[in-house]
Amino acid sequence: METIGKSIIRKEALDKVTGTAKYTSDHLSLPMLHAKMVISPYAHANITHIDLSEAWKIPGVRAILAGEKFPLTGEEIRDRPPIAYDKVRYCGEVVAVIVADSPAIAKRASSLIKVNYEPLPVVNSPNQAYENNAPVVHENIDSYERIKNVYPEVNTNIANRTKIRKGDMELGWQRTEIVVEADFSFSPSDHAAMETRCVIAEIREDETVVITSSSQSPFMIKKLLHVYFHIDIGKIVVNVPLVGGAYGGKASVQLELIAYLASKAVHGRKVKILNSREEDLITSPVHIGLDATIKLGCSRDGVLQAAEILYLFDGGAYSDKAVDISRAGAVDCTGPYRINNIQCDALCMYTNHPYAAPFRGFGHSEVMFVFERTMDMLAKKLKMDPIELRLINAIKPGDTTPTQLAVNKSNVGNVSECILKLKKIMNWDEGSIKQVSNTKVRSKGICCTWKNSTIDPDASSGVTLTFNPDGSINIISGVVEIGTGTKSVLAQMLAEKLKMDVRQIYVQMEVNTKSTPDHWKTVSSRGSFMAGRALLNAADDIIRQLKDLTACILRCSKVDLEVGLGKVYLKDTPDIFLNIKDICYGYMYPNGNAIGGQIIGRGTYIQRRVTYLDPETGAGNPGPEWTVAAQGIELEFDLLDYTYNVIRAATVVDVGKVLNEKTALGQIIGGMSMGISFAGRETFQFDQAGRILNPQLRTYRPLRYGEHPKYEVEFVETPVIDGPYGARSAGEHGLIGMPAALANSLSAAAEVDLNQLPLIPELIWKTKEGAVDDSL
């Protein structure tokens, strides 16, 4: 292969190091108004009165949206008013929006809006939401419109329940000789992309709605604006320039709706709304939290026999994508193992927390933390090496998943090989724990992960290819460039396919829903898979057209032709050829006659044979393929004060095929960094009343330079047969196992089970001695 696998530099690299790369908020235009939100300081309260009089006195205020009943929104259950009406259900919820001539005026006016609240009892965790007498966050769940396959339970806080019923639990427990039970919990946290969300909306004279947004889901914005506000779908155009980090958080559609309403309130004038960091952290949707209870059993030989799991996802105040996240958690509710008897209930709970968006890993880092931590507890009880326990149970072709799908080599990859390679990288045979001084130990911990992509069964992608007169090609795809470099990887695939120089391939970075073919959403690491397949189809389309035309001109059969190196040539006599540049805009005979016309390539891809899950058993085909991995952490732990440093972090992941080595490494390492940060430090701190105490980056603290460990990454390449060049998705998989690996390593070092996040020294102190030690 010429291009595939190589570390080709991304197409927009120069723009990004010179400051010329444009993101949504970099679009400045003069006749533009600015919107500012007023957000709730309460987690749950009735809005008794809103006084706008002082705000209206500020010159330059053009509109105020408050106390108005707009259509309810939400991707699966329509439970969310875009601007709170009557009631607020989380701290940070939007209660009013001011539109004004400048950001400063909007801000000044926003601080003059007086809202009176009557606080209500707060649901402050999924466990609490699940209690019988818990306050109810939504009284009339059954009155909400909803899609098929979502099952809210009336008079409870349960937005949805996904059931996994596999095998025979009674039999499973009979065969069980060793059993562990444990509880887990962690609060919501955040994506904290460096670019805060930003939207510009306008409604033109002909009623065309034009949105520019820092979004992963331009086509979903278009669809939902149509569904919620009954705008003709053809009159909605969504532009997405470069996006400054997303990680799932920009897949939710929220700010776009507010910007649209704001523009409508000023007769369609252009309105820009840029989240402050505080709003971006708590008003916009967050990373889901989880409470879980698990019981896991095996026979004395270490073979897993039964798993009984309750996942209570903290969907927050509104269900939006949380239902789907909880469903994804059910699909891969265990680690990548053969377990014949599984009972799992994954519930999406309403609480008075900010609501959840997808987060890199889509429910998987969360459930893997629970399951893989439990695996270590089981290994300890069994007195078996945790790697050995995982090797014994690793899922293999012919085994079935929790949704009862029989797996094969192509769709599941090779877990065992990942484990064995990791074992080597971690020098596991030297022992997993070592005293390095009087007060310090070095400790290692590992875990396995897997993830399928449970996106909509009919999710699809399209690609258009056009030629430039010199034979170079433009790729037009609906994938958003959020940092993953996917579009540059598409260029590489095309270069490979057409045996071209990748510099001869241009990509359109921006997405415009009017001129760009639909790509479902740039989420779930599906970019290179789905758009890659669509691209290869489009390339085939070009090749076919080139051959048809050439066959006619060269008077030969098209099966005798080959395309490559900028030419269409006879396979057996390559010196008989036509240059692509001479035919891609039609071919002209010496006498002036022309045939052909410009060649436009068209390719699409739609997911194959994915099914909805059976509502009683969860049985079904949840998605195209799994990516499996084994991950490890080595750290140094201080036995006296319980502080620690992560020394190194390792990942072995079966990516099917490495398409661009450095890009792939960047994705995996970036994911690991984010996973360590989430596991080790990041969480929203809620007080008793559900208010968030740390809505700034000085108190909500992503990992910084110097806190990062040494990273080690290795790839396994078990091709997925229908993936482009055999590649699997890999964008999220660096992250998924980090919480479990860190917790396992720390639990071993501290000799105590650490089943909460984040893993700060105070948690270790509290678990070890805090509860009893009052003598200080």
**Contacting range for other proteins; rule: CB under 8 A; set: 151-159, 238-246, 447-455, 561-569:** 238-246
Binding flag, residue 675, ligand FES (CB under 6 A):
no
The amino acid that residue 333 corresponds to is: C
CA separation for the pair 275, 258 (Å, rounded): 12
Enter the tokens of residue 34.
Answer: 């600015």
User: Binding residues for other proteins, how many (CB under 8 A)?
Assistant: 84
Angle separating helix axes 218-229 and 255-265, nearest 10 degrees = 50
Does 358 sit near ligand FES (CB under 6 A)? no
Distance CA(140)–CA(491), nearest Å, equals 50
The distance of closest approach from Cβ of residue 703 to ligand FES in the complex, given in angstroms and rounded to an integer, is: 12
- Asked whether position 706 contacts other proteins by CB under 8 A, the answer is yes
Q: Per CB under 8 A, does 7 bind other proteins?
A: yes
Q: Kindly state whether residue 698 participates in binding other proteins, applying the rule CB under 8 A.
A: yes
* Residue 48: exposure state from Cβ atoms within 10 A (0-12, 13-18, ≥19): exposed
Least distance (Å) between residue 325 CB and other proteins: 20
Contacts with other proteins, 483-512, as mask; x by CB under 8 A: xxx---------------------------
The CA angle 220-222-223, to the nearest 5 degrees, is 65
**SS3 per-residue string spanning 369-409:** HHHHHHHHHHHHHHCCCHHHHHHHHECCCCCECCCCCECCH
In the bound complex, what is the minimum distance in angstroms from residue 30's beta carbon to other proteins?
10
Per the CB < 8 A criterion, the answer to whether 433 and 443 are in contact is yes
Residue with tokens 């270069």: 495
Q: Which of 373, 426, 396 is nearest to 647 (CA)?
A: 426
Cα 442 to chain centroid distance, Å, stands at 33
Query: How crowded is residue 562: how many other Cβ atoms within 10 Å of its Cβ?
Result: 18
Contact characters 356-395, other proteins, x per CB under 8 A? ----------------------------------------
Select 375 or 703, whichever has its Cβ closest to ligand FES: 703
| Residues within window 227-286 making contact with ligand FES, judged by CB under 6 A | 245
Q: Which part of the chain contacts other proteins (CB under 8 A), choosing from 15-23, 89-97, 170-178, 220-228?
A: 15-23
Give the whole-angstrom CA distance, residue 40 versus residue 48. Answer: 13
Q: 13, 194, 552, 588: which one contacts ligand FES (CB under 6 A)? A: 194
Q: Does 689 bind other proteins (CB under 8 A)?
A: no
Summarize the chain as % helix, strand, coil (round to 5).
30, 30, 45
42 vs 418: CA distance, rounded Å: 47
String of contacts with other proteins for each residue 588-627, x by CB under 8 A: ----------------------------------------
Strand order from edge to edge, sheet including 627-638: 433-435, 440-451, 627-638, 644-654, 710-716
From the list 261, 319, 308, 234, the residue with the least C-alpha distance to 285 is 319
CB of 671 to ligand FES, least distance (A): 13
DSSP structure class, residue 503: G
Cβ closest to other proteins, residue 117 vs residue 765: 765
Q: What is the DSSP string of 599-633?
A: -EEEEEEE--S--PPPTTT--S---S--EEEEEEE
Of 241, 289, 478, 483, the one binding ligand FES by CB under 6 A: 483
Q: Confirm or reject binding of residue 708 to other proteins (CB under 8 A).
A: yes
The answer to whether 702 contacts ligand FES (rule: CB under 6 A) is no
Q: Quick one: 60 or 245, whose CB is closer to ligand FES?
A: 245
Residue window 259-278: x/- pattern of binding to other proteins, with contact defined by CB under 8 A: ---------------x-xxx
Could you say which of ligand FES, other proteins, none residue 243 binds, taking C-beta under 5 to 8 angstroms by partner kind?
Answer: other proteins
* 503: partner contacted, choices other proteins, ligand FES, none (Cβ within 5-8 A by kind): none
| Contact partner at residue 517 from other proteins, ligand FES, none, CB < 5 to 8 Å by partner kind | none
Considering only the stretches 321-329, 479-487, 534-542, 625-633, report the one whose residues sit in contact with other proteins under the rule CB under 8 A: 479-487
Nearer to other proteins, 24 or 416 (CB): 24
Asked whether position 699 contacts other proteins by CB under 8 A, the answer is yes
Applying CB under 6 A, the residues found at the interface with ligand FES are: 194, 245, 483
